[in-house]
């Protein structure tokens, strides 16, 4: 069993924060010119650049909800649906202007009035439930908290997601993201990650999660993992190819596999990205794909940060964002909660 460190927890949550705050500058832009983005990153990592108009970069719903997931797990040393739902609700009503999804705000309003914390989410989209990436974007703390037991982790991640998202694509997207964070955390740091093995192992897990699905279902996460492998194998893969094959949208199935691809691709240098810090490169490349940039960068960042750790978080870059001290402390408290975890009932 590898020796997991608090610096990996910090790396994970701080990289997620960076991805959200920087990505938010571009959310919804279909195309992000590579050169302009590289100039911005060069400025952001340069201590001499003041960037007064721009900083501090504010975090959005992605981080706001991640905070609630972490705080609830820390306080209860276990998943408690009503408590986590209450955290989402109070966080939202304290700070509603953080760019939440259009429909999830209805869930928050209903949660104030009902006793079953899963009921409002089940009613979304005429009963089909949301497949937005709002479950996956906030799931990293659950993966860290329960990384020692995969089945427990998947149970917590599914439940934490179902407070707002019940569509199978939304739930399974969060499970894939949790598995990817766990795998990155547990990866042997003495040798480079082998993407093929990483994907094969994830595919085994997703196949079992998707066991009731039609094998040819194009939207299956199992199929998306094959697409990631193909994109990584082709040295000529462009931003357009990635967006065409995996998407860059607000739906979980059009963004979670994309974030995983970004993490794996960013283990190597990328043409047009000057920065050689692998965490910063991950975030920059995620944003270069356009679309749901804050969320894809936050998810790719969480995976990359869990793997590379705090030593690869650029301190100047971190100095540009809101909430860094709080999130670093949150990572410490989450790390401490792992040893104390356990549910009494
Ligand atoms: N909302 C945004 N970005 C747009 C505006 C932000 C802008 N910067 C601003 O300041 O105004 N970003 C955030 O939302 C995403 C996460 O959303 P979440 O939590 O999944 O919300 P929701 O409402 O459940 O789903 C999002 C949309 O997906 C479509 N959808 C989902 N399920 C559907 C279904 N079963 N049928 C049809 N459509 C479905 C809907 O359009 C939902 O509104 C993140 O990007 C976060 O950053
Ligand atoms: Mg340049
Ligand atoms: Mg957001
Ligand atoms: Mg987003």
**DSSP notation for 162-174:** HTT--SHHHHHHH
The complex's ipTM works out to 0.95
Tokens encoding 44: 């952001």
Look at residues 259, 322, 308, 315 and name the one whose alpha carbon lies nearest to residue 286: 259
**Measuring CA to CA, which residue among 287, 279, 292, 317 is closest to residue 34?**
287
Residue 31's SS3 state is: coil
pLDDT, residue 53, reads 87
Strand-pairing partners, residue 321, are 57
Query: Can you give the residue range of the structural domain that contains 33?
Result: 6-211+218-340
Please check whether residue 1 lies inside any domain of the structure.
Answer: no
Could you give the CA distance from residue 95 to residue 91 in angstroms, rounded to a whole number? Answer: 6
User: How many angstroms is it from 14 CA to the middle of ligand 2?
Assistant: 25
Give CA–CA dist 186/55, Å, rounded.
34
Q: What is the CATH number of the domain that holds 30?
A: 1.10.4080.10
Cα–Cα distance, 265 to 249 (Å, whole number): 19
Rounded to the nearest integer, the mean pLDDT of the chain is: 97
Position 30 in a domain: yes
Angle subtended by helix axes 104-111 and 81-94, to nearest 10: 110
Rounded to 5 degrees, φ, ψ at 98 are: -100, 20
Beta-bridge partner residues of 57? 321
314 belongs to a structural domain: yes
In the predicted structure, residue 147 carries a pLDDT above the cut 70:
yes
Task: Quote the CA–CA distance of 182 and 338 in Å, as a whole number.
Answer: 13
Domain for residue 345, yes or no?
no
Instruction: Grade residue 342 by pLDDT with cuts at 50, 70 and 90.
Output: confident
Is residue 259 a contact partner of residue 252, using CB atoms and an 8 Å limit?
Answer: no
Asked whether residue 117 is domain-assigned, the answer is yes
pLDDT score of 1: 61
Rg of the chain (C-alpha set): 18
DSSP 190-251: TS---HHHHHHHHHHHHHHHTTTS-TT-TT-HHHHHHHHHHHHH-TT--HHHHHHHH--SSB
In a domain, 241, yes or no: yes
Q: Which two tokens stand for residue 127?
A: 């009963």
Q: How far is CA 74 from CA 4, 79, 206, in A?
A: 18, 9, 28
pLDDT of residue 185: 98
| CA-nearest residue, atom 28 of ligand 1 | 132
Q: Is the pLDDT of residue 178 over 70?
A: yes
Q: How many domains does the chain have?
A: 1
Q: Determine the distance separating the centroid of ligand 1 and the alpha carbon of 104, expressed in angstroms.
A: 7
List, for residues 208-247, the tens digit of each pLDDT value.
999 998 877 778 999 999 999 999 999 999 999 999 999 9
294 pLDDT higher than 60: yes
**With 60 as the cut, is the pLDDT of residue 345 above it?**
no
State which ligand 1 atom lies nearest to the alpha carbon of 27. 8
Strand partners, 132: 251
Asked whether residue 145 is assigned to any structural domain, the reply reads yes
247-268 pLDDT per residue, tens: 999 999 999 999 999 999 999 9
How many angstroms does the Cα of residue 134 sit away from the middle of ligand 1? Answer: 7
CA-to-CA separations, 26 to 20, 21, 31, 95, 297, in angstroms, rounded: 10, 10, 9, 21, 11
Q: Give CA–CA dist 310/183, Å, rounded.
A: 17
State the pLDDT at residue 344. Answer: 65
Q: How far apart are CA 263 and CA 266, in angstroms?
A: 5
Does 181 score more than 70 pLDDT? yes
User: Alpha-carbon distance 294 to 62, whole Å?
Assistant: 8
pLDDT at position 3 is 87
pLDDT digits (tens, 9 = 90+) for 52-92: 889 999 999 999 999 999 999 999 999 999 999 999 999 99
Mean pLDDT for 24-49 is 97
The residue with tokens 């089909």 is: 128
Using CA positions, which residue lies closest to atom 1 of ligand 1?
A: 101
pLDDT level of residue 2 (50, 70, 90 thresholds): confident
Cα 168 to ligand 3 centroid, rounded to whole Å: 21
């Amino acid at each position: 069993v590898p020796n997991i460190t608090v610096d990996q927890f910090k790396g994970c949550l701080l990289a997620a924060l960076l991805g959200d705050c920087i990505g938010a500058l571009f959310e919804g832009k279909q195309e992000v010119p590579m050169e302009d983005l590289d100039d911005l990153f060069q400025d952001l990592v340069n201590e001499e650049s003041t960037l007064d108009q721009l900083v501090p970069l504010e975090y959005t719903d992605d981080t706001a909800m991640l905070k609630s997931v972490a705080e609830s797990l820390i306080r209860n040393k276990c998943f408690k649906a009503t408590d986590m739902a209450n955290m989402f609700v109070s966080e939202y009503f304290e700070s509603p202007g953080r760019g939440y999804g259009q429909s999830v705000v209805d869930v928050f309003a209903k949660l104030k009035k009902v006793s079953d914390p899963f009921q409002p989410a089940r009613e979304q989209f005429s009963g089909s439930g949301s497949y937005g990436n709002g479950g996956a974007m906030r799931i990293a703390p659950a993966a860290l908290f329960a990384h020692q037991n995969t089945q427990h982790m998947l149970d917590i991640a599914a439940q934490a997601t179902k407070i707002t998202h019940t569509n199978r694509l939304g739930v399974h997207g969060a499970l894939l993201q949790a598995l990817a964070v766990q795998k990155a955390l547990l990866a042997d740091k003495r040798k480079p990650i082998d993407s093929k093995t990483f994907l094969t192992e994830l595919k085994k897990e997703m196949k079992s999660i998707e066991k009731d699905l039609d094998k040819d279902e194009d939207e299956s996460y199992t199929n998306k993992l094959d697409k990631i492998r193909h994109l990584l194998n082709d040295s000529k893969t462009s931003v357009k190819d990635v967006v065409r094959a995996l998407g860059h949208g607000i739906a979980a199935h059009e963004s979670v596999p994309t974030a995983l691809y970004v993490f794996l691709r960013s283990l190597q240098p990328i043409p047009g990205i000057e920065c050689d810090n692998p965490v910063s490169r991950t975030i920059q490349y995620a944003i270069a794909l356009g679309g749901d940039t804050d969320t894809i960068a936050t998810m790719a960042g969480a995976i990359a940060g869990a793997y590379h750790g705090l030593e690869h978080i650029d301190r100047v870059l971190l100095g540009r964002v809101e909430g860094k001290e709080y999130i670093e402390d949150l990572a410490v408290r989450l790390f401490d909660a792992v040893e104390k975890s356990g549910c009494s009932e």
